[in-house]
A and B are shown apart, each in its own frame.
Chain A
């Protein structure tokens, strides 16, 4: 079984690396390899989780499908036409004293977060409430129920959001299947992996696009958000979703400065598709990201370029959107959001002024309550922007505008969901708003740092 587990891990890693090698133009900047790794490993996990789902449907071994896939990707990589290399500026040069302080603070926070994650995972290896009640429970069904795996979606389990997609539980079940036993170490390592990937992608991408000082500042603000590490250690899928939202934004911004933007946009589409395969909110993210991208391209490019770029994005997202569609059409038998307390009373809720007040107050309250039981990191982000000012380089403007618009549209979508749900909005806001904000938080930090003015020594424009 150890051999199968090793092969399984190697295939997931290989698929991620081959996918990024095939699509991403060769990098010519410092930290490019870290960025590739931070993209490849979660992408490999996402793709193999979808393959595992299809193997349950078809009965074909997931390892066989993955082996074919990795060979196909490697052949495609060897045969692809050469692309001009990206020339994103690197963060080279001597560090100023401000940058040194930021690096020390970043490392201190990383050590504190790692210690808390380890302590938490040792104490609560089954995860927090949603971790075991939703995600690990679904993984146990997929692993233990054998041919009866569809019983995981029985109407009896409607309370556990059986309509949620399967990236996290399928990854856990796949690893248990290949290990030959159920161990809490798998979801713990998966949660740790996604937390590290979020931080690594944030810092590596900003290092490439904006310079080290801003990269470390944004990284420090992420790691100084206690909710980030708390939800990661609780094994909630929100951290994985926050990764794919951040990856979509980063890749769209990398496309902005690249001579081969379609390749980056295809990867951005994959990231968005994997967001939809992680949590239901990910579908909203896909719609918001496509709408924002289309709107910016209408302003900035001609029709042919627009179609090519949107087409590349959708081509990347398509396999995962089809997987989600199949899952929702043929596997899920009940929807919690629409089914628990009857149909949403859309007209009645939209006319309810009291409801607007409750939801608006909760959203506004996140400005000082989000992410920490003490001082919200939003306050520190505001201070950082106030002190550094705004300084957007011309080539980052389209990407930054698309990111800001997509994040705003998604937040507006969350607001609409709270307005329309047939559930008690107070209860729902209390139990979920913090997590929904966390899904967007790394993307917000990236967007803010990319648009911030110079700090420390003159940085990359």
Chain B
């Protein structure tokens, strides 16, 4: 009887670990799909580094170490701050403030109306909807 019980348990354990393995591998594949949907298959940080490279070069060459950021509002809503976080990563070692309270400000996909409303003027247009702005 004891031998039967051991055989039964060994068989059940083997089955359990087979299912765990299959589930683990299938779960990995599902995770890959989910991550691709979220990022669009891109390395968002590397894309930002490429996009901000000319601005970063200009800021470092002018000795500017702190800068503001806006895409429309006076302050960035940090709960929806993805684009701002990417800007900070790409512009490091610049310190990017989540508001427009600095002399120079990053204008990320900002509309002409917002520029007028926030009293900002364009210093340099880097293309790809990226502007270096200055407070008027």
A residues neighboring B (CB under 8 Å)? 97-98, 101-102, 105, 108-109, 112-113, 116, 119-120, 123-128, 132-133, 136-137, 140-141, 144-146, 148, 151-152, 154, 156-157, 159-160, 184, 217, 220-221, 223-227, 229-230, 340, 371-375, 377, 380, 383-384, 387-388, 427, 455-456
Question: Distance in Å from the Cβ of A159 to the closest Cβ of chain B?
Answer: 5
CB distance from A332 to the nearest CB of B (A): 15
Complex: chain B residue closest to A133, CB-CB:
B85
Residues 56-81 of chain B, each 1 if its beta carbon lies under 8 Å from chain A, else 0: 00000000011000000000001101
Contact status B45-A136, CB under 8 Å? yes
**Alpha-carbon distance between A461 and B13 when the two chains are bound, in angstroms:** 20
A383 and B95: CB pair below 8 A?
A: no
Cβ 8 A contact of A109, one of B24, B89, B98: B24
Within 8 A of A (CB), among B75-123: 78-79, 81, 85, 88-89, 92-93, 95-98
Pick the contact of B43 from A123, A227, A387, A455 — CB < 8 Å? A123
**Which of A98, A123, A151, A374 neighbours the largest number of chain B CB atoms within 10 Å of its CB?**
A374
Q: Which of chain A's residues have a CB closer than 8 A to the CB of B35?
A: 120, 124, 128, 230
B129 located at the interface, meaning its Cβ lies under 8 Å from any Cβ of chain A in the complex: no
A343–B32 alpha-carbon span in the complex (Å)? 38
Counting CB contacts under 8 A, is B30 at the interface?
yes
| 30 A-B residue pairs with CB within 8 Å | A97-B10, A98-B10, A108-B25, A109-B24, A119-B32, A126-B44, A137-B88, A137-B89, A141-B92, A144-B92, A146-B93, A148-B65, A151-B93, A152-B93, A156-B95, A157-B95, A159-B78, A160-B85, A217-B13, A217-B17, A224-B23, A371-B27, A372-B23, A373-B30, A374-B27, A374-B30, A375-B19, A383-B16, A384-B16, A387-B13
Quick one: given A124-B43, A133-B85, A133-B89, are A373 and B65 in contact (CB under 8 Å)? no
CB-nearest residue of chain B to A112 = B25
In the assembled complex, B53 has its CB within 8 A of some CB on chain A: no
Residues of B in contact (CB 8 Å), total 43
B39 at the interface (CB under 8 A from A): yes
In the bound complex, what is the Cα–Cα distance between A220 and B16 (angstroms)? Answer: 11
List 5 tightest A-B contacts by C-beta distance, closest first.
Answer: A224-B24, A126-B45, A145-B93, A226-B27, A132-B45
In the complex, which residue of chain B has the Cβ closest to the Cβ of A383?
Answer: B16
| Supplied contacts A136-B45, A455-B13, 9 more A-B pairs, CB within 8 Å | A124-B43, A132-B44, A144-B92, A148-B93, A157-B95, A159-B78, A220-B17, A340-B78, A384-B17
